Amino acid sequence: MDILAVERVSRLLGARGRRFAARMLSPAELAGFDAAGWPVERQAEFLAGRFAAKEAVAKAIGTGVSQLGLRRIEVSGSGRAPACRLLDQAAAIAARRGVSRVLLTITHDAGVAAAMAVALGPAGRGDEDVPASDIV
């Protein structure tokens, strides 16, 4: 689980602009962020939620976000249930730790964004053959 004040992200966004988003979002996430055309307040809320989600995923896998890399944890699902996809080295690290699936939820309220992630292993669930790059 991770929680983050949207105002903190708003300050970073104001100081660093799009560079802040580019440092934490995967290429697909960044393309969606750029295309959305949101006002700054919504951009900060979105980025706070994504950052909290990526931190929560890294904690659930049992590493720090610095080991997995923010841009290698891809979160999708605007307007629907969020999903997590691990890319490249992050997928390999998760597989070595026995993680075959990550469940994720994100919420925003009262100026904070929070996320919770649960890392699952195969444990007889029938998904032993899921490639780590397809973790959802």
Residues with active-site annotation: 59, 108
Cα–Cα distance between 80 and 110 in angstroms, integer? 21
CB neighbours of 8 closer than 8 A, spacing ≥ 6?
Answer: 48
User: In 62-86, which ranges are continuous DSSP H helix?
Assistant: 65-68
Amino acid code (one letter) for 104 = L
What percent of the chain is helix, strand and coil (3-state, nearest 5)?
50, 20, 25
Nearest to 79 by CA among 49, 59, 120: 49
